[in-house]
Chains A and B, each alone.
Chain A
Amino acid sequence: MSDTPVLPATDCHAAASRPQWMTLLAETPPAEIERHWKVLPRPTFTWIRRPELGSAMVRGRASGTGAQFNLGDVTVTRCTLQLSTGEIGVSYVMGRNKRHAALSALFDAMLQREKSTGETIVCGAIAAMMELRDRRRRQILDDTRSSKVDFTMLSPGGAEQ
C-alpha cells in the first residue's frame, strides 16, 4: 500500500497497545496480513501450542445492559509461539483459519520485539491495517447514513410535528 503512513518509531508504537494490535490482527482479513507478511524479514520461532480449533461462548446482557446470558458459540483458532529472541506471541482469532492464527501470533511476537529494538517495520504494517479497518468501517457507515430516515407526523391541520 502506497499510502502507508510512515510514523516515527515512538509514535508508531504508541499508537497501539498489545490488546489493540491483537484485536486488529483478529479483525483483519487473512489475505491482508499475508500481504504484509510477504515483505517482512522472516523471524525464527518455535511452537508452544500449534494452531488448534475450538469455540468460545459469546455472552450478551438482557436489554444490552442487564444480567448476562449465553448467546451462542463462535469458532475460534488459537496458537502460541516463541521467537528465537524470546518474545512469546499469542493469538485467538474467530473462524477456522489456522494460517490466520499463526500469522497473528507471529505479528504479536514481532511487535513486542520491535518495542525493544525500536524498529518500525511490523508496526508500519499494523498502522496500514488500522487504516484499512477504519476505511471498512467508514464504508459501512456511509452506506448506513445513505438510508437515514426522518419520520414526521402530520396533524389534521397539516402542520408537521
Chain B
Amino acid sequence: MITSIKGGEKAIDASHQLLSKRRRGDPNVAQLSVEQIREQLSLAVDRVMNEGSLYDPTLAALAIKQAEGDLIEAIYLLRAYRSTIPRFGFTLPLDTASMIVRRRISTTHKDVPGGQFLGPTYDYTHRLIDFALLDGCDDEDGLPLPDSDQVEDLHLHHDAGFISRTGLVEEELPDDSQEVADITRSPLTFPSTRDQRLQNLVRGDEGFLMALCYSTMRGYGRNHPYVAEMRHGDVSVVMEIPEIDLEAGIGTVQITECRTIHLTVGKSETPPRYTRGYGLLFGHSERKALSVAVVDRALRGAEFGEERRYPAQDEEFVLSHSDSVAASGLVQHLKLPHYVDFQAEQQLLRRLREDYDKRASEALAKENDDA
C-alpha cells in the first residue's frame, strides 16, 4: 500500500541543489554541451531514443546530460516528455530496402547481392584501452574522407530477398488487413500479437533482452539463430500530409535492422525450414537488434508448435518485464517512506510471534508433563 507522507520540502529542495552541483562536477572542467553528447556519445543517445520511444537525438542527449549519464533515468525523462506532445499521425512503414547503407553484413550468405560493408564496428577491434584518446588526440579513423565527385549509383543494392530465394526460409508477406496495435495507447493483451511484441521489444531494456537472448543460446529454449543480415543506415520517413492528401518525406532516421533465421522442424504438417526473427531499432543498436530478433523468434513458438518451457518463450514473462521505466519505477519506489506498511506488518508479526511463543511454551509444558 502506498500512503502519502507530508514534510521534507526543504530537504527535497536542498537535494535538488546537490544534484545540480554534482551534475556540474568540478567547475574547473569545461561544461559538457548537449551537442557534444549528441555527436560524441551517439550510441548512448541511440539507446535512450529506442527505450524512450522517441527519435530526437538532441532531446535524448539533453536527457543524458540531465540524468548525469544514467541512461535508464534519461529514458524515463524522454518517455515523460513524449507523453506531453500531441501525435500528428502515423508514418508509412519504413522502406528499409532503400536505405543509405552505412554497414551491412550477412553471416550466412558470403556473396550477398550488393556486397558486405563493415562500416563502423567494434567487432574487429582489439578492445584495448586507447590512450591516444586520453590526450584528446583525434582518432585517426574519425578523420573525414576526401570528397568524391564520383557519380555512382546512390543506392546500393540491398533488397533482402536473397534470404528467401531458395525457398528454405519462411516468407514474410505484407498483410495490411489488421489494424496495427499500439501499446502506447491500449495495454498489452495475451495471447499477444507480433506487432504488439515487436513494439514492446524495441522499448524493452537492452540488458534484459540480451540476457533472454543469451539464455536461449545456452539451452533455455534453444532456437539457434543465424544472422542472415545486419544492416545500419539512413532511411526516409514518409508520412501522408493530411492537409494536401499527398505523401511526403519529413526527414531521415538512422536505423539498425537485423534478420535472423532459425532452423525449425516444428509440426509434422509443415515442411522443415528456417523461420525468422526480426529486430528493427532506431540508431546504431546492433546488440539490441540481435537480441530483439532472437527473442521475437522465441516468442513465436506457438506458431510452430513449440512447447513453452523457458522464460524467453513465455510472452507474459518477457513482455511484462521488459520495460525499464516500469521496472525501475517499482524497484525504486522501495526507497520511498513505507512507515505505515512497516508498522502494520510489525503488528501482524507481533501477533504471530505471540502465537508462536504460546505454542512453544505449551509444547514445552507438555514435554515436561510427559517426562
Contact = CB atoms under 8 A, between A and B. Distances in A.
Contact of B243 (A70, A71, A80): A80
Contacts of A24: 249
Contact of B172 (A22, A62, A73, A80): A62
Interface in B143-174: 145, 147-150, 152, 154, 156, 160, 171-174
A94 B234 contact: no
Nearest to A57: B90
Interface string A41-76: 000000000000111111111111111111111111
A153 B239 CA distance: 44
Contacts of A148: 115-117
Contacts of B354: none
A74 B87 contact: no
A96 B233 CA distance: 22
Given A58-B94, A64-B97, A144-B156, A72 B195 contact: no
A152 to B, nearest CB: 8
B164 to A, nearest CB: 9
The CB with the most chain A CB atoms within 10 A, among B55, B59, B247, is that of B55
A141 B96 contact: no
Contact of A22 (B105, B154, B249): B249
Interface residues of A, number: 59
A5 to B, nearest CB: 14
Size category, B interface: 35 or more
Contacts of B97: 64
A23 interface: yes
A130 B199 CA distance: 34
A64 B54 CA distance: 20
A38 interface: no
Interface string A73-84: 111101010000
A72 B54 contact: yes
A111 to B, nearest CB: 13
A126 to B, nearest CB: 14
B237 A56 contact: yes
A26 B250 contact: yes
B148 A71 contact: no
B257 interface: yes
Interface in A15-35: 18-19, 22-24, 26-27
Interface in B222-263: 233-234, 236-239, 241, 243-244, 246-253, 257, 259
A75 B253 CA distance: 11
A138 B155 CA distance: 9
Given A56-B91, A67-B174, A26 B249 contact: yes
Given A62-B194, A68-B176, A96-B56, 4 more contacts: A57-B91, A61-B174, A143-B102, A144-B117
Interface of B: 49-50, 53-56, 58-59, 82, 85-94, 96-97, 100-105, 110, 115-119, 145, 147-150, 152, 154, 156, 160, 171-176, 178, 180-184, 194-196, 198-199, 202-203, 233-234, 236-239, 241, 243-244, 246-253, 257, 259, 276, 278, 280, 282
29 contacts: A18-B244, A19-B249, A22-B246, A27-B251, A55-B82, A55-B85, A56-B90, A56-B91, A58-B91, A60-B93, A62-B194, A67-B172, A67-B194, A69-B198, A69-B199, A70-B180, A70-B184, A71-B202, A73-B54, A74-B55, A74-B253, A75-B56, A80-B243, A96-B59, A137-B154, A138-B150, A139-B145, A141-B156, A153-B110
